[in-house]
Structure 1
Amino acid sequence: MKFDRSVLADFDRASSLEWLVPNGLGGFASSTAVGANARKYHGLLVAAFNPPVDRYMLLSKIEEELSTASEEYFLSCNLYSNNVIQPRGHLYLESFELTPEPVFTYCMGGGVVLAKKVFMVYGHNTTVVKYTLVSAPGPYTLKLYPLVTFRDFHANTCASKPGFTHSVSHLNKHVRINFAGEKLGERILFLTSDRAVFKRNEVWNRGFLLGGEVERGEECSEDLLCPGRFTIVLKPGESVSVTASAEEGADAVPVSKLEKNNEKRIFDIANNLPPECGMVGELAYAADSFIVSRRSTGKKTIIAGYHWFSDWGRDTMISLGGLTLVTKKFDVCREILSTFSENIKDGIVPNRFSDDSSAPPEYNTVDASLWYFHALYKYYLYTGDLYFIENSMRPMKEIIDNYISGTDFNIRMDAADCLITQGGPDVQLTWMDAKVNGFVVTPRSGKAVEINALWYNALCVYRFFAGLLKVNIDKKYDVLINGVKTHFAQKFKKPAGGGLYDVLDCFGPAGENSGGVSARIRPNQIFAVSLPFSPVGLRLAADIVDTVETHLLTERGLRSLAPGEAEYKPRYEGGRYARDCAYHQGTVWAYLIGPFISAKLRVRGYDAETAGFCSQIIDNFKPHLKEAGLMSISEIFDGDEPRRPAGCISQAWSVAELMRAVYEDIEGRHKLTPLDEK
């Protein structure tokens, strides 16, 4: 993917094009196509000190100056208050390319060309920035000014109250910056060059304006510390590198070897894909970026989205198919399933692991446990690994037993209809979980439609595995499965058509079960058709798909609420409160395109015309790969046109569900079973 001067000279447009390089630990390097940081999350080294959490900004950026005795070029660019751009190095940018790592090529005229490449050392909190004087009429002096800080990556730095003390020591090409934070402890940043010499000169650079944070209504000003500069005279064809690391000894391996190792890893990602894989191949590098190590378990896990999410149970279970099974990373899938199953508590799979590494997992979810069954079923379809399934029967039974008898957050089965009810007036347990200052934006306590579709699917998966393993299970499972299927269709179906109710037996304002229903048109009903074991017949399934397609389908995913509903919000914008109030009230979610495609093809019998229709849906996302998070899929989009991308610039389940839908459904590698005609 490559951009030329026509794009890069437009600062507003180019500074909205974001790249991200992961390190496999939850840390990353990230900025924009012109190198101007637009978010507090942008920086060249965001280190994860307790992977994949405890993430800190250490190296924000490097300012570059190329000169001779008679010429001087300032190559960086920054946005300051009053929208002042200084310097204006983006005007020298001839091209910006993702390979998939960022490569900036600066052309100053007179044959002077400088290239900059950024990559991370996988498995380490280490970033390498390599500069090459591609061509020039003679030697040029390159001066590099690192801008550093020490803060939580959710925060901002103010020079008058930085929140840390520091000391700088150096010897020739090696710099050591000791940080001590009031709340952050002590950390060290190592800056090393293979050839350039460092000269200490500490200066605070103040007043950087983070345009992306202005749009989000967040703190948008940043001050950064420059400890000094690296200087080298480069001849045409020569290179120099600066390595930034939170680990001592990171410079022990030559940069050339680190670069080759990195190139091999990128090649292996692409080489492990099926032939002629289209969108699957285009998203492969993004897919790999979400798979990270978790120190507390010693196993792999999945980051839900960049820049700010950690590992979430629901997102992980949904994402495993696209991120690990389509890409044939079966051992990784097994590890991740083990990580979450080992942390099941009272029948509940963790909702998320906290950003605070000392805090226990959070369990406020009703659906993560049920998605766990779905993930196991998919794993078996791809691998045939019955040994792992046999070892997973106990946690599956633990979940079912707790859901039947009742567990935390009022999660329990209603014996009268075998359906799952959950939550209360101040509790949000489904994926529509926005809560602002105690206010639950999308109250869905009661019997939510997708929860009960997942419940039916989970019971069927457990019975399916028991049959394969020849395990005798109680006949109550047959009774439960039949009971759920019967009552699901009877109770959730809208009498006049138009799909399914969203929630039954809603909770009233005082916490009592009001017996009411939510008839709002939401996408949650699509899961009743897209899951492997469906509680609905073909006729009702077709009505569900038609309803969702008519009211919710867009070129970027499904709306979370139909236009025309009283609470519908056409834009996801403003401060945190306004954004949270729009999060599930009309905002488009890209990941929902996966279950929609699965459901659409299922009810239409996988005919060529429908496959073509679904292929076009996928193709509609291709222009998005060149906006927002480059070569990835955003978390959400505005409900109304032009459907600006928002939320995380790279979201695990957005990427995963597009990949899975293409591989399994459109290409027909894992078709869903036909539905009953009723």
Structure 2
Amino acid sequence: MKSLDRREWLLTNGLGSFACGTLCDARTRTYHGWLIAAINPPSERTLLLSHLEATLEIGRKTRELGTNFWSNGTIAPLGYQLLRSFTIEPVPTWIWSEENWQLTRQIVMPNCFPQPGEELANNQFDQKTVIQYDYQGKETAILRLKPLIADRNFHHQQTAVPELTFSQKVSENSVIFQAINQDWQGTPWQLTWSKGDYQISGYWYWNYHYPEETLRGLGDREDLWCPGELTIILQPGDRIALEAKLGWAEAQRRRGTGAQENSLTRNSKLPQSPVPSTQSPIFNQLLRAADRFIVYRHSISGPTVIAGYPWFNDWGRDTLIALPGLALTTGRFEIAKGLLQTFGSYCKYGLIPNTFPDQGNEPFYNSIDASLWWIENLGLYLEATEDWDFLITQYPVFRQIYKAFSAGTLFNIHIDAEDGLLIWDAPNVAITWMDVVINGKPITPRCGKPVEINALWYSALCWAIKWAEKLATIQTGNSAKLLSQRDRYFQQAEKVKKSLQKYWNPKQQYFYDTISPNDQPDPKIRPNAVLALSLYHCGFPSEQARQVLQIAKEKLLTPYGLRSLAPDDPDYIGSYTGDSLYRDSAYHQGTVWSWLIGCFINAWQRFYQTEPLPFDWQLMLDHFQNQACLGSVSEIFDGDPPHTPQGAFAQAWSVAEVLRYFPEANKF
């Protein structure tokens, strides 16, 4: 490579563990590493193996293949100058070479998502990263590999201190590591190899620098421990495979199993999608990208969704927004059912948790819309599957939500008796998706009646009408009660539909974003109006919808999603950069959210059926294939051109909505 290519790659294992880095092989983030293991899947993610520092000796010449940023501003060694290519498919592959030699490295993280009935042994389930080197050349070479290791939370950096040491137990073809400090013992893990000679050394590499963290105004320096060196003599055509694996188990001798062969396990444990393989490489890549977010949560013995890599956990709202694209479009109906069942089982106070618990911990119920998204997704699942037995088990959850919203619940969420709309009134909290709070105050206060919340509420009532009627034909002994509930839902839906006209702003020909508890409408041009038009049941007239979409096309639409605020608004911030305070201030004040592209497409195709989409799909697909994290979609983009990718480099709902509305998806 002629330059330091800081685009990124990502591998995951279905339990929350992941590996990621840059194409140039330098670590630029706290989150870069080859084994970031979910000790209590998918939580307690811990960096264990940062990387292997490699040198290759041929004759009397030694080539340093690594590339590192250091806190004094230097870059050393300069291995990227010998790096000739990187490919992401079928697995991340680097090739270093000169005229008379070539060294290829591949990295794989086999998938561990358990099959139904399969037990998660000791929370670990064979979590590992496989690294393979292939050598081609005209003479014998010596490959030296130095593991750089840590034992720290994936959000933090490791600092060399006297009380931190690493034990190691060396066998013929393996070494077991464990961090030891004054007050704790770290996570045991092992490194195994198919051939080579390992010698213990033990010293610190101080002051690695992570430039991406510098840009984010966060800690950007790390110390990593080098426990020893593995020396391998390579003949032309030789292959060596290494495994970095979680746990104590004594390693057995490996026989050179290649990383390419191990990669065949990548999709073997996720339910197979009935969506067929196609002639479109991009669509197949989107299917694989979707897999990365579906993980197993040990504390609930069921599936969940990582909101985004490299730093997000699993969140209720994000999971439910992503569910149609990840699980329904791909035909993974058992995954969809499992997600709905899991979230429904944790319903409390009529609310679906926004964050799941680890074992022994209480979920966080800090979202008004997660419950409404749960209802919307239950409806979409039932439309796709006609699984009425599942409706029988989940209808009581719907009733719990309905009753809680009717009687009132946390955050003073209740139905306004006058207009039938949902309202909430809790100062200094943020419980919609525009949820940033700084110093105890929301940046985008939306207390009252947000437009998308009541659009979801209307759709929920419409689903309830259908469900009560269907159940009345199944549970004939309870039909009178169910039909009475149906009539009540119908009356409420009609009242809500009429009240939705309160959001129409004839001056702007757009919907008010929210109506405050004291009945003051907010005229800011935000994408929630488009979201309100995209739901399965839409309570707004076509003429208004088309006018809203024209304004959104003019002021919010970009090739990568919708801006969170119109550029002509005095509060608009067009660049998501700087420290955490500045970035949080910009998060919903103009930043482009890529998941909203799906809302726009759905609404546009509903109300402008014969007109083509007013943006170029190819720009989004080029981002997916060639920008930020190759083979994924970023969380957000700058509001101002050229709309630089920002935020998490791989976001679940972003990938899900691109997959859901990708033109080829509609063919199946």
Kept after mapping to 2: 8 A contact 1:44/1:60 = yes
Cα-to-partner distance string for 1:589-618 (whole Å, 9 max, x where unaligned): 00000010000010012x2x425x46x336
**Structure 1 residues 439 and 240: alpha-carbon distance in aligned structure 2, compared to 1, 3 A threshold:** same
1:254: how far off? 5.6
Structure 1 match to 2:495: 483
SS class of match (1:187)? coil
Matches within 5 A, 1:392-541: 392-470=394-472, 471-474=482-485, 475-489=487-501, 491-504=502-515, 506=516, 513-541=517-545
Kept after mapping to 2: 8 A contact 1:243/1:251 = no
Structure 1 match to 2:111: 122
Query: 1:499 is aligned with what amino acid?
Result: Y
Structure 2 match to 1:643: 643
**Structure 1 residues 352 and 9: alpha-carbon distance in aligned structure 2, compared to 1, 3 A threshold:** same
CA distance in 2, matches of 1:598, 1:201: 60
1:299 aligned to which of 291, 298, 302: 302
1:277: how far off? 5.3
Matches within 5 A, 1:95-244: 95-110=85-100, 112-123=101-112, 124-133=126-135, 135-160=136-161, 164-180=164-180, 185-244=185-244
Query: 2:246 is aligned with what amino acid?
Result: A
CA distance in 2, matches of 1:45, 1:308: 15
Matches within 5 A, 1:369-408: 369-408=371-410
**Structure 1 residues 266 and 478: alpha-carbon distance in aligned structure 2, compared to 1, 3 A threshold:** closer
Structure 2 match to 1:550: 554
For structure 1, which segment, 525-534 or 259-268, has the greater mean C-alpha deviation from structure 2 after superposition? Answer: 259-268
Cα-to-partner distance string for 1:541-590 (whole Å, 9 max, x where unaligned): 11111121111001111000001212111100111111000000000000
Kept after mapping to 2: 8 A contact 1:280/1:663 = no
Cα-to-partner distance string for 1:495-534 (whole Å, 9 max, x where unaligned): 3242100010x2xxxxxx4332211000001122110101
Cα-to-partner distance string for 1:22-80 (whole Å, 9 max, x where unaligned): 01110101111021111000000000011111100000111001103411111011011
CA distance in 1, matches of 2:103, 2:416: 68
SS class of match (2:257)? helix
Structure 1 match to 2:2: 9
Kept after mapping to 2: 8 A contact 1:299/1:335 = yes
CA distance in 1, matches of 2:379, 2:184: 42
Cα-to-partner distance string for 1:461-516 (whole Å, 9 max, x where unaligned): 11112222324242221111011000012x10003242100010x2xxxxxx4332
Structure 1 match to 2:601: 597
Query: 2:306 is aligned with what amino acid?
Result: I
Query: 1:420 is aligned with what amino acid?
Result: L
Kept after mapping to 2: 8 A contact 1:208/1:221 = yes
Structure 2 match to 1:365: 367
CA distance in 1, matches of 2:182, 2:656: 39
Query: 1:484 is aligned with what amino acid?
Result: V
Structure 1 match to 2:320: 317
Kept after mapping to 2: 8 A contact 1:273/1:327 = no
Structure 2 match to 1:610: 612
2:13 aligned to which of 23, 39, 44: 23
**Structure 1 residues 575 and 548: alpha-carbon distance in aligned structure 2, compared to 1, 3 A threshold:** same
Structure 1 match to 2:476: none
Structure 2 match to 1:628: 628
**Structure 1 residues 64 and 257: alpha-carbon distance in aligned structure 2, compared to 1, 3 A threshold:** closer
CA distance in 1, matches of 2:361, 2:332: 30
Report the identity percentage.
36
**Structure 1 residues 278 and 146: alpha-carbon distance in aligned structure 2, compared to 1, 3 A threshold:** closer
Cα-to-partner distance string for 1:374-429 (whole Å, 9 max, x where unaligned): 11111122222111122111101111111111111111111111001114221100
CA distance in 1, matches of 2:187, 2:108: 22
**Structure 1 residues 423 and 132: alpha-carbon distance in aligned structure 2, compared to 1, 3 A threshold:** farther
Q: Structure 2 unaligned segments of length 5 or more: list them.
A: 113-125, 473-481
SS class of match (2:511)? coil
SS class of match (1:610)? coil
Matches within 5 A, 1:69-108: 69-108=59-98
For structure 1, which segment, 224-233 or 415-424, has the greater mean C-alpha deviation from structure 2 after superposition? Answer: 415-424
Matched, 1:667 2:666: yes
Query: 1:173 is aligned with what amino acid?
Result: N
Structure 2 match to 1:285: 288
**Structure 1 residues 445 and 273: alpha-carbon distance in aligned structure 2, compared to 1, 3 A threshold:** farther
Kept after mapping to 2: 8 A contact 1:29/1:120 = yes
CA distance in 1, matches of 2:274, 2:20: 25
Kept after mapping to 1: 8 A contact 2:110/2:265 = no
Structure 2 match to 1:656: 656
CA distance in 2, matches of 1:443, 1:197: 61
For structure 1, which segment, 247-256 or 312-321, has the greater mean C-alpha deviation from structure 2 after superposition? Answer: 247-256
Query: 2:505 is aligned with what amino acid?
Result: K
Structure 1 match to 2:479: none
Query: 2:107 is aligned with what amino acid?
Result: V
Kept after mapping to 1: 8 A contact 2:349/2:409 = yes
Structure 2 match to 1:344: 347
Kept after mapping to 1: 8 A contact 2:323/2:377 = yes
CA root-mean-square deviation: 2.1
SS class of match (1:472)? helix
CA distance in 2, matches of 1:622, 1:84: 32
CA distance in 2, matches of 1:598, 1:541: 12
**Structure 1 residues 410 and 182: alpha-carbon distance in aligned structure 2, compared to 1, 3 A threshold:** farther
CA distance in 1, matches of 2:265, 2:49: 26
Structure 1 match to 2:43: 53
1:32 aligned to which of 22, 25, 35: 22
| Length, aligned pairs only | 642
